[in-house]
């Protein structure tokens, strides 16, 4: 019984350290685009995602965005998986994370058409 409690505490400590390192890595990835996230801002963003979306797929999608886990054409190009780093939608600019999620003019156009069609 004593060993089980000790193993659980060690496991919890290791898991906490890994989660902290993953959060630091994710936060650092945002720095070139939006500046540095303060720890409380990051925690609030994480809580918002986990608390505001009742549907698991939406939570997962938002967590992927927050942790920048979506693979972009720029990353896939660096890894030798694509022949070009260009955006796969507009094919005009490089497909980095910010472009693919917010700045692609073709994607915005498609989104607006969808919005006008259904809203």
Which residues sit at the interface with Zn ion, rule CB under 5 A?
Answer: 87, 89-90, 104
Of 40, 7, 6, nearest to 23 (Cα)? 40
Least CB distance to Zn ion at residue 101 (A): 10
C-alpha separations of 18 from 22, 23, 34 in Å: 6, 9, 24
Of 50 and 92, the one with the shorter C-beta distance to Zn ion is: 92
Q: How far apart are CA 35 and CA 38, in angstroms?
A: 9
Of 90 and 98, the one with the shorter C-beta distance to Zn ion is: 90
Least CB distance to Zn ion at residue 107 (A): 6
Of 49 and 87, the one with the shorter C-beta distance to Zn ion is: 87
Of 72, 63, 30, 71, nearest to 45 (Cα)? 63
Least CB distance to Zn ion at residue 71 (A): 15
Of 49 and 104, the one with the shorter C-beta distance to Zn ion is: 104
Least CB distance to Zn ion at residue 104 (A): 3
Q: How far apart are CA 48 and CA 54, in angstroms?
A: 11
């Amino acid at each position: 019984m004593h060993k089980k409690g000790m193993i659980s505490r060690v496991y919890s400590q290791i898991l906490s350290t890994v989660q902290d390192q993953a959060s630091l890595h994710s936060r650092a990835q945002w720095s070139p685009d939006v500046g540095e996230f303060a720890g409380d801002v990051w925690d609030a963003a994480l809580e918002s995602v986990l608390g505001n979306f009742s549907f698991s797929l939406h939570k997962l999608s938002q967590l992927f965005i927050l942790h920048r886990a979506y693979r972009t054409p720029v990353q896939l190009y660096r890894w030798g998986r694509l022949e070009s780093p260009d955006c796969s939608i507009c094919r005009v600019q490089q497909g980095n994370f910010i472009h693919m999620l917010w700045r692609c003019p073709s994607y915005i156009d498609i989104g607006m058409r969808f919005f006008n069609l259904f809203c």
